[in-house]
Amino acid sequence: MNYISPDASLFDDRKKPFVPTDIQEAVRKIIRWAGDDPDREGLVETPVRFARAWKEYCQGYEEDPIAHLSRTFEEVGGYDEIVVLKNIPFHSHCEHHMAPIEGKACIAYLPDQKVVGISKLARVLHAFARRLQVQERLTAEIAQCIWDNLKPRGVAVVIEAKHGCMTGRGVQTPEVAMVTSRVLGCFLEDSASRKEVFSLMGR
C-alpha cells in the first residue's frame, strides 16, 4: 500500500483537533470500500478533513445546554406575554444514517417572572442539534430543557426539517419536510394559549 502522508500543515494548526491514526485509517477503509483510492491526490487528506468536520458537526456533545439558561433577567417592565424566536436555522445529522438534517426551529415560552437573552434559545437548539439526532427527540429535548431550567408557564417548540436520508437516498423525495412539535405547561393545557402561540409562530 503506497500511503501518502497528509500535508503536515493539517497537524500544525493548534486550533484544529489532532486526528488519531486509527481514525484516519478507518476513513481510508471507508473510501476504499466505497470503490475509490484513498491514496489519490484528491482524497489523501480527506481522512483528516473528514474527522475534523465530524468533530465540529458533533461539538454539541461537549456543550451543556443548561449553561445557556443560567443567566436570567427579572427586570422586564412587567412583561408577561409570550416570547417567540422564529425560524432559527440549524444543522444536524440523523443517528440512523448519519445523513444531514437541515431545518428551522421556532421556540416560544411564556415567562414566569424571568426571561433569558434570546440568543440563548438559539444556543440551546444548537447544543442539542450538534449531536447525532432524531428530530422527535431533538424537539423534546429543547422544550424540556427550557421548561426545567427557566420554569416558565408554558413552552412550545416546532421544528421543520429536511432529512438527507430521505432526500438523497432511499425513497429520494427531495421536497418532503418533517414537522414536529412539543408543548408544555399552559400551551398544553389551554387550547386558546396553544392556538395563540402557534399563530405567533406562523403555524
Q: How far apart, in whole angstroms, are the C-alpha atoms of residue 137 and residue 142?
A: 9
Inter-helix orientation angle 46-57/21-34, to 10°: 110
Task: Give catalytic status of residue 165 as yes or no.
Answer: yes
Catalytic residue among 45, 58, 63, 97: 97
Residues 6, 18 contacting (CB under 8 angstroms) = no
- For this structure, is 93 an active site residue? no
How would you list the strands of the sheet with 178-185, edge to edge?
132-133, 83-94, 100-110, 154-163, 178-185
Respond yes or no: is residue 163 known to be catalytic: yes
- Contact present, 198 and 154 (Cβ < 8 Å): no
Is 135 marked active-site?
yes
Q: Is 91 a catalytic residue?
A: no
Q: Cell numbers for 113, please give them.
A: 417572572
159 vs 96: CA distance, rounded Å? 19
Distance (Å, rounded) from C-alpha 71 to C-alpha 197? 24
Selected catalytic residue, list 45, 58, 144, 165: 165
Alpha carbon distance 85, 153 (integer Å): 17
Among 68, 93, 126, 163, the active-site one is 163
Q: Is 145 a catalytic residue?
A: no
How many angstroms separate the CA atoms of 55 and 15, rounded?
13
| Active-site annotation holder among 135, 145, 186, 196 | 135
Q: Identify whether 126 is a catalytic site residue.
A: no
Q: Which of 56, 59, 96, 189 is catalytic?
A: 96
Candidates 24, 68, 93, 94; catalytic one: 94
Rounded-to-integer distance, Cα 32 and Cα 181, Å: 41
> Of the residues 25, 56, 62, 95, which is catalytic?
95
Catalytic residues: 94-97, 135, 163, 165
